[in-house]
Structure 1
Amino acid sequence: MPEDVCVLIPTLDEAATIGDVIDGFRANGYETILVIDGGSTDGTQAIARERGADVLEQSGRGKGQAVMEALDRIETEYVLMLDGDGTYQPEEAAAMLEPLRDGRAEHVIGNRFADMEPGAMTRLNRFGNRLINRTFAVVHHRNLTDVLSGYRAFTADSVRQLDLSANGFGIETELAVECVRQGIDIEVVPIGYEPRPDGSETNLHPLRDGGVILLTLYRLAKLNNPMLYYGSIGLASGMVGVALAGYVGYRWFFEGVSHEVLALLSAFTILLGVQIVMFGVLSDMILTLHREQRRRIERIAEDD
């Protein structure tokens, strides 16, 4: 029943591909297509309207802001989200939606690495994706294989439970983190991933955007893995204090020069580091208790 699905396509200067993407979904029976555009100057909006899509120009900047703004306007039960660059196949929409319709999941991620065509991703991007996926698995204790995939399917109700704030390409990472944190069922579906067609240029800057995504992962760790987040900060503070203490001790014992101010700073940073680590331990205990309480409440609700 494609009528209960909204196909959401965030775009920025995708005139070379957006028409074919919309045509592909319409050919597969999907009539509710929303293109949210970041102010394209190449005619993307006009092409999308000509092909029958609803077009909304976002009020802010960045893919994350565009997605959040569009979600406020969607009224269908299911949302199918993908990039407008022609790398994802409309024919795989049914497979993406199947876990939602069967009740197995509320959020579906398309795994591009399952069937990636040669040339679809550069070596640098492939390395960055692998690094981010492994970092996600370590930080959030869940291996989702391809957290940066732009092909997603989810229930509208589930996404309204999420606390989203990422403005740029970190939106995919934040969606995955929030689903894990909120206990939303996630399923990973193998999909194909094709190279960008000729004449289509990427808006992704691997080093800059990759760094932003890693920082987003680390920032969100305080909600899902506070021991790692606060522990790393406390450890860094303690190491600075120890290094200062070593310098002060060396100067005092071997050169007879005292550094009272540096000694006080060293003691302060070591104590600060210990306190931050203790805060991380307490936060982790509270989070564990919260998860246990939530599981108990869910079991009681299921029994009723």
Structure 2
Amino acid sequence: MDQIAVLIPCYNEGKTIEKVVKDFKRVLPEAVIYVYDNNSSDGTAEIAAAAGAVVRHEYQQGKGNVIRRMFGEINACCYVMADGDDTYPAESAREMVDKVLYRNADMVVGDRLSSTYFEENKRPFHNFGNTIVRGSINTLFKNDIKDIMTGYRAFSRRFVKTFPILSKGFEIETEMSIHAIDKNLAVDNVVIQYRDRPEGSESKLNTYSDGFKVLRTIVRLFRTYRPLRFYSLLSLLMIIVAGILFAPIGVTYVQTGLVPRFPTLIACGFIVLAAIVSFFAGMILQSIYSHERQRFELDLYREMESDSERMIIEAKGREEGRG
């Protein structure tokens, strides 16, 4: 098992990948640098291999698919994930790794938004989108992660081996952040000096389509991880709609003793019934979710126990080797 593994998902990053690999080899000489090529057509894999990286391939397109392959195949004590576009400084990696190895952090976030991101990034809708995503997640999930969508992170082994990856594309970072918040994993932040892509390097992120995917992911995960709150809000919304529709009917009935619009009254009744069903569905799903949280904690303990046993075996092997 590697002590430190640097994971770099790549799609057509031939202009920058050599520098990225060499920078991480310089800052983390003890680490193994893995470049996972995602169907590049510009020689990214060959350039990375020549620079000294271990190159592997993921043929299902999408960053989420690449990271799922990485997390499944690689065993390490600490994982550093970065992009191959040279926008993240390798010099911050040592501090991030130390927080995982010596401060028991499960996920360390490379925080771009607290430093140079808004000055360096030339795409204003990206800046706006990052602000919206950060605000919505920290409000819905009651946390204070500084940069939700950064692609520069460090992870503990127990995070990597207990994280169920469902996203296929760029929404994977949002899923990571919400998973860490929901499972009460130790999260830390390191402020990094973000730099924009060098000239000639093009972003694969589509501002609008990928932005909507991220927002859809937030709603999906809010429904999954906070079912009682989600369905209670839905129930409250239906009650408000029913109240608005019923108000003129009620006023007319009080004034005249007549009900002028029976179809509207019947619709109000069905909406109220749907609201009641929604609320109780949220209660049932909350109970199921609580059971899943308990199971996750047991899985986490088993993962920690297996790590301890592995460390003991490795220590005995080293002693026997010296003997």
Q: Secondary structure at the match of 2:20?
A: helix
Does the 8 A contact of 2:62 with 2:170 survive in 1? yes
State how far apart, in whole Å, the 2-side matches of 1:81 and 1:36 are: 11
Aligned residues: 296
Residue deviations 1:241-278 (CA, integer Å, cap 9, x gap) = 4566579889999xx97564x65444222211232134
Q: Identify if the C-alpha distance between structure 1 residues 225 and 49 changes in structure 2 by more than 3 Å, giving closer, same or farther.
A: same
- 1:4 equivalent in alignment to 2:3: yes
TM-score between the two structures when normalised by the length of structure 2: 0.80
Please say if residues 7 and 30 of structure 1, whose CA atoms lie closer than 8 Å, have aligned partners that are also in contact: no
- 1:8-157 aligned within 5 A: 8-28=7-27, 29-116=29-116, 118-157=119-158
1:265-301 deviation per Cα after TM superposition (whole angstroms, max 9, x unaligned): 4422221123213433565578679979999xx9xxx
Give the share of equivalent positions with the same residue, in percent: 27
Between the aligned partners of 2:19 and 2:296, the Cα distance in structure 1 is 45
Deviations 1:10-56 (A, max 9, x none): 11111111111011112221551111122111111111111121222
Q: Distance in 1 between matches of 2:13 and 2:195?
A: 16
Corresponding residue number in structure 2 for 1:301: none
Whether contact under 8 Å (1:4, 1:77) holds in the other structure is yes
Cross-structure match for 2:278: 276
**Structure 2 CA distance for partners of 1:33 and 1:279, relative to 1, 3 Å:** same
For residues 30-83 of structure 1, what are the alpha-carbon distances to aligned partners after superposition, in whole Å with 9 as ceiling and x for unaligned? 551111122111111111111121222213121111101111111121110011
Q: Is the 8 A contact 1:238 1:271 kept in 2?
A: no
The residue aligned with 1:203 is: 204
Cα shift at 1:222: 2.5
Rounded Cα–Cα distance in structure 1 between residues aligned with 2:294 and 2:23: 45
Provide the alpha-carbon RMSD of the alignment. 3.3
Please tell me whether the aligned partners of residues 112 and 146 of structure 1 are also in contact (alpha carbons under 8 angstroms). Answer: yes
CA distance in 2, matches of 1:56, 1:187: 29
Q: Distance in 2 between matches of 1:202 and 1:213?
A: 17
**Unaligned segments of structure 1, at least 5 residues:** 299-304
Question: How far apart, CA to CA, are the structure 2 residues paired with 1:34 and 1:237?
Answer: 50
Give the 3-state SS of the residue equivalent to 1:86 in structure 2.
coil
CA distance in structure 2 between the partners assigned to 1:287 and 1:143 by the alignment:
23
Counterpart AA for 2:37: D
Distance 1:172 1:178 in 2: 10
Going from structure 1 to structure 2, the CA distance change for 1:250 and 1:47 (only over 3 Å counts) comes to farther
Answer whether contact 2:239 2:271 (CA < 8 A) is retained. yes
Give, in angstroms, the shift of residue 126 of structure 1. Answer: 1.1
Report the CA distance shift for 1:70/1:294 in structure 2 as closer, same or farther (over 3 A): closer
* Residue 230 of structure 2: aligned partner: 229
Contact preservation (8 Å) 2:36, 2:57: yes
Structure 2 unaligned regions, length at least 5: 301-323
- The residue type paired with residue 199 of structure 1 is G
Change (3 A) 1:294 1:155: closer
Secondary structure of 2:208's partner?
A: helix
Moved more, 106-115 or 224-233: 224-233
Q: Is the 8 A contact 2:11 2:44 kept in 1?
A: yes
Question: Which stretch shifts more, 199-208 or 158-167?
Answer: 158-167
- Write the distance in 2 (CA, Å) between the matches of 1:192 and 1:180: 24
